[in-house]
Structure 1
Amino acid sequence: MWPVCRCLLFGSPRPSPVVWALGQTCRSRSSGGAVAPGLDRPLSFSDGEAFKLKSGWEVVRGLLILRMCSFPSLVKHSEKLMLVSRRLLGRHLFELGMRWSVYGQFVAGENLPEITDCVSRLRTLGIRPMLAVPIEEDLDEKKSGEGWYELNEEIMRECVNLSSAGRDRPMMQLKVTALMSADLCKRLSVCLLDPALGEELSVQRIVSVMEGEDSGFSFLSKEQNFHLQNSVRRLSRIGKHARDSHVRVLVDAEYTYMNPALSLVTMAMMAQWNESEPWIWNTYQCYLKDSFSNISHDLDLTQRLGVCFGVKLVRGAYMDKERRLARENGYSDPIQPDWEATNSSYQRSLDKMLDLIGRDGKRYNLIVASHNEDSVLRAVHRMEELGIDKESGAVCFGQLLGMCDHVSLTLGQSGFLVYKSIPYGSVSSVLPYLVRRAQENQSVLQGIRKERDLLRRELKRRLLGRRLDNNQ
C-alpha cells in the first residue's frame, strides 16, 4: 500500500512530457510577479508560503485528491467506481469515506453548522465564500410539472439567506436551469436566432412578463408560455430577494444551445434590479469564439437600459461536449481553435472590463474567475496601472473550492477580494455534480501539476521538521 501512496503523494521521479505539458496550463509564464497596489513586493504563486496556513491533514488530502484527479481514466470512470464502492461498503461507510476525501475537498458541507465552519475557516485565510447550490437540468433530465422548479426556488432563497449572513459583499451562484427547463431554454435560444422572433423576445418584454404581464409568444405552445411565465417570475423574485439582502447573484453560463436564453433572462434581471449597483451578474465563457462580441453586445444593452453591469469572466468548462455536439449536428465548432486563442480572448475581455472599471468602479464590476496565473497577474498589474483599489470590490478574483489554493491564499493574504465557489448539500446530491464538473474540467485537472508540487514540497518540509524535532 505504501508504494501506491508514495507515488500518489510524491509522484514519479520523471513525469511524462505529455503530463508536463498539460501542467503548464495553470503555470504562469511570467518570470516575475506583478506588484499589487499597496504591497512592497511582487505577488508570487511559486514559493508555496501560502500552504503553511493549511493543516497537515489538508495538505495530505489535497495532495492525494489532486493526484488522483490528474488521471483521465480515473475521472472518466469515477461515477462507476463510486457506484461499485457504495455497493461494497454500504451507504454509511461510503459516505463517510467521501466526507474524508473528495466531498471534504470540494464541498462546504451538508447542514448549517458544517457550512458555517467551512466559511469561517476560509475567512481566517482571507478568502470569502461564494455559495453554489449544485442544481441544474440538461435536455436529458426533464422534470414534470412546476413543483421541482418551485422547490428549487425555495432552495435558492435559502442560499441567499446563507450568503447574506456573511460580512461585506456576499456573493452566490445561480443556475437558470434550476428554475427554468433546459428544453425551454433551448427553444428560446433557437428563436433568438430568427431576427423577427428575436425582436419579439426583447429584454423589455421579458421584464413585462416578470412584472405581471401574461406571456403570449406565438411561437411557444400554451404549456411553454405558462412555464416561461412562471420561470421568469421565479428568477425575478430571487433577484429581488438577493438585492434586498445585499447579495450579488452570479448567473452561470451553461451550454451554447441554451446560453442565448440564459443571457436574455439574466439581462432582464439586470434591467429590474441593477439600477444603482450590479446585483445581478452574467457569465462569459472566453473559450467560445463569440464571447467578446457577446460581452460587447450586453455592455451596449446595459448602457441603453441605464443599468449597472456585473461580469463573471471564465474560460469555460464544456469544451469536449461542445465539440462533440458540433460534429454530430454538423455546425461550426464554437470553441476557440487553441489555448492561445482562448488566452487572447480572455485578456481582451479582461482589459475591456478593467478599463471601464477604471473610469467607473461603481457601475461596472468584475470577478476574474480563473485558475490561470498569467490572467490573475495581468489583472493585478492593470489594477495598479488604472488605480483600482483592491479593497473596493469593483474587481475580485474567484477559484473553485479545493483547487488553485496557492493562488487564492496568496491573493487573500495580500488583501485582494478573493472568493471560493463553494457547493453544498448532502453527499448523494452533490456527488453527481462533482462528477460532471470533473469530467467537464479534465484539461484543468490534468494541469494542476504546480499545485501538487507545492503541496508535496510543503508536506516534505513538515515531515523533515518533525524528524529534526524528534532527533533533538
Structure 2
Amino acid sequence: MWSFPRWLRSGASLSAGAWTRSLSCRAFAHGSQAALSFSDGKAFRLKSGWEVVRGLLIFRLCSVPRLVRNSEKLLSVSRRLLGRRLFEWGMRGSVYGQFVAGETLPEIQDCMERLARLGIRPMLAVPIEEDLGEGKSGERWYEQNEEVMMKCVDLSAAGGDRPMMQLKITAMMSADLCKILSTCLSDPTQRAQLSPQRMVSIMEGQGSALPFLSDQQNQHLQTSVRRLSRVGKHAKANGVRVLVDAEYTYMNPALSLVTMAMMAQCNTDEPWIWNTYQCYLKDSYKNLTKDLDTAQRLGLCFGVKLVRGAYMDKERKLAKEKGYSDPIQPDWTATNTSYQRSLDKLLDLIGQGGQRYNLIIASHNEESVLHAVRRTAELGVDRSSGAVCFGQLLGMCDHVSLTLGQAGYLVYKSIPYGSVDSVLPYLVRRAQENQSVLQGIRKERDLLRRELSRRLLGRS
C-alpha cells in the first residue's frame, strides 16, 4: 500500500534529545554566548517533513503583500465556494494548522506537549478583543469571556513550569469605555481621580462612582474591573503569569491604568501581572519609565512584555484623519533604537533587582535577541531563572525559538486557540497589521527550503 516517504513522515535525522546535546556541546562547551547562531538552520531538523513543507508554502504566500491585504476577501470567497466543512478541512491543513494550537482540549494539549519536547513553553492566547463601536448590549458577552479566561488560566497551569497566558482587557471591558477613560486621563482635573488605588477600591467594591461617567458607564466599569480582578487573582492562585496586551493608542492609557490596579492586587511578592509596551510608539519609553516609577512607589513587582508593535497603518491613518500628531516612530531605525533603550533599562534593573522585575523579549528580531543574550550573560542573569525570557508567535520565527529553547533559554510561543470561525478573523487582522513582519520571513523561508532539499537529497 502507498505511504508517505520517510522524510515526510518523520524528517528529523536527530532526535530532540540528541540535537539538544549536540547544540549544547557545540555552542556552549566554553561558555561562549557568541556561538549562538540562528543562521545554520539545523534547528529545523526537529520539525517533521510535513511541517517543513507546510511552513515553506505558507511563508511563500504570506510574503506576497497583495495576498495579505486581500486575505479576508479571499477567505470569504473560498468558504462560499467550498462550503463550511471542506473550507475548515483546508484551513486546518494550512494557515490554521500553522498558527493555531487547535480547538479541542486534546488538540491544545498535543500542541503544548510537542512544544515542550522541543524546549519551548506555551503562552496561551484567547483571540477575543473588541474595537470601538463593537460594544455589546448588556454584560453577557463579557461575562462569557470571563469564563473563557478562567479556563485559559486552568489550561495554562497544566502546561508545565512557570506558565504564562495573554489577556486582552477589551475582552472583558468595552473598548468604548476604555477610550473614554483614556480621554479622561489626559485631563488633569479628571486624571487625579483615576489612580491605580482608586481602581483597586472599585475592584474591591469600596469605590464610589466617577462623576464624569454616566450611571451606565460607572456600572459597566465596576463589573468590568471586578471581572479582571477575579481573573488576575485566579491566575496568581494557580501560579500563572498574565501578560496584558496593549492595543490601540486611543485606549492604551486606560488599559495601563487597569493593569496597574491588577498589579497592585497581585504583584506584592512576584510579578504575576505584566504590562505590554509597544516600542514603535514615540512615547513608549516615557510610559514605561512612568509605570516603573509608579510600581516602585507602590512597592510592587513589575513584569514587562516588550514588543515593537502591530497597529502602525491604522494608527497613522487615524492620526491623519483626526488631525493629531502621528504617534508612530518616524522610521524603523528609530523603533529599533526605542526598543533597545527600553530593553537595556529593564535588563539593568533585572541585573540589580533579581526577581522583582521580569521581562519577556517578545521579538522576531535576531539582533534584539542576541543583544539580550549577551547582556544577560554580562549581568550574570541565570538564563533558567525566568527573570528574562523570550517569545515569538506560534508558526513563525522557529529558527530563533528552537535554537533558544535547545540552548536552555526560557522561550515561549504565543498560542491562539479556538474554532476556525473564531480564530481566522484574528489571524487576518494580525497578518494585515504585521505585513512588515511577514515580508521579513525570507530568511526563515530560505532555511526551510534548505532543510527540505537536505531531506530530499538524503544528506546528513
Distance in 2, matches of 1:382 and 1:204, equals 35
Out of 351, 355, 363, the residue aligned to residue 362 of structure 1 is 355
2:156–2:164 CA contact under 8 A, matched in 1? yes
List gaps (5 residues or longer) in structure 1.
Answer: 1-33
1:36–1:384 CA contact under 8 A, matched in 2? no
Equivalence for 1:141 = 134
Distance in 2, matches of 1:429 and 1:107, equals 11
Q: Identify which of structures 1 and 2 has the higher relative contact order when contacts are C-alpha pairs closer than 8 Å and 6+ apart.
A: 1
- Work out whether 1:316 is the aligned partner of 2:316: no
C-alpha change, 1:112 and 1:351, in structure 2 (3 Å) is same
2:33–2:373 CA contact under 8 A, matched in 1? no
1:37–1:383 CA contact under 8 A, matched in 2? no
Equivalence for 1:424 = 417
Equivalence for 2:379 = 386
Q: Which amino acid aligns with 1:428?
A: D
Shift of 1:215: 4.0
Deviations 1:198-237 (A, max 9, x none): 0111111000000112441111000000000000000000
Distance in 2, matches of 1:36 and 1:374, equals 23
2:245–2:275 CA contact under 8 A, matched in 1? yes
List gaps (5 residues or longer) in structure 2.
Answer: 1-26
Equivalence for 1:304 = 297
Equivalence for 1:279 = 272
Equivalence for 2:92 = 99
Deviations 1:11-61 (A, max 9, x none): xxxxxxxxxxxxxxxxxxxxxxx9799557610000001001000000000
Out of 332, 339, 357, the residue aligned to residue 339 of structure 1 is 332
2:390–2:410 CA contact under 8 A, matched in 1? yes
Q: Which amino acid aligns with 1:431?
A: L
Equivalence for 2:66 = 73
Out of 322, 328, 352, the residue aligned to residue 345 of structure 2 is 352
Shift of 1:168: 1.1
1:215–1:226 CA contact under 8 A, matched in 2? no
- Work out whether 1:122 is the aligned partner of 2:115: yes
Distance in 2, matches of 1:139 and 1:37, equals 54
1:48–1:454 CA contact under 8 A, matched in 2? yes
2:275–2:304 CA contact under 8 A, matched in 1? yes
Distance in 1, matches of 2:351 and 2:424, equals 41
Q: What stretches of structure 1 move > 4 A for 4+ residues in a row? A: 34-41
Distance in 2, matches of 1:167 and 1:403, equals 22
Distance in 1, matches of 2:208 and 2:149, equals 24
Q: Which amino acid aligns with 1:126?
A: G
- How many percent identity over aligned positions? 78
- Work out whether 1:238 is the aligned partner of 2:231: yes
Distance in 1, matches of 2:385 and 2:29, equals 14
2:126–2:416 CA contact under 8 A, matched in 1? yes
Shift of 1:161: 0.3
Q: Which amino acid aligns with 2:328?
A: I
Equivalence for 1:458 = 451
Deviations 1:132-181 (A, max 9, x none): 00000001322111000000000000000000002210000000000000
- Work out whether 1:373 is the aligned partner of 2:362: no
Distance in 2, matches of 1:370 and 1:167, equals 22
Equivalence for 1:293 = 286
Q: Which amino acid aligns with 1:253?
A: A
2:281–2:329 CA contact under 8 A, matched in 1? yes
C-alpha change, 1:181 and 1:215, in structure 2 (3 Å) is farther
- Work out whether 1:441 is the aligned partner of 2:434: yes
Distance in 1, matches of 2:208 and 2:82, equals 51
Q: Which amino acid aligns with 2:84?
A: R
Q: 1:397 aligns to what SS in structure 2?
A: strand
Q: CA RMSD in A?
A: 1.4
Equivalence for 2:42 = 49
Deviations 1:236-277 (A, max 9, x none): 000000000000000000000000000000000000000000
Equivalence for 1:174 = 167
Equivalence for 2:389 = 396
Deviations 1:57-108 (A, max 9, x none): 0000001111101111101111111111111111000000000000000000
Deviations 1:272-303 (A, max 9, x none): 00000000000000000000000000000000
2:33–2:374 CA contact under 8 A, matched in 1? no
Deviations 1:330-381 (A, max 9, x none): 0000000001100000000000000000012210000000000000000000
Q: 1:141 aligns to what SS in structure 2?
A: coil
Distance in 2, matches of 1:441 and 1:40, equals 30
Distance in 2, matches of 1:40 and 1:225, equals 53
Equivalence for 1:7 = none
Q: 1:433 aligns to what SS in structure 2?
A: helix
**Alignment: residue pair count:** 434
1:37–1:384 CA contact under 8 A, matched in 2? no
2:133–2:176 CA contact under 8 A, matched in 1? no
C-alpha change, 1:423 and 1:215, in structure 2 (3 Å) is farther
C-alpha change, 1:170 and 1:36, in structure 2 (3 Å) is farther
Distance in 2, matches of 1:436 and 1:372, equals 21
TM-score normalised to structure 1 length: 0.90
Q: 2:192 aligns to what SS in structure 1?
A: helix
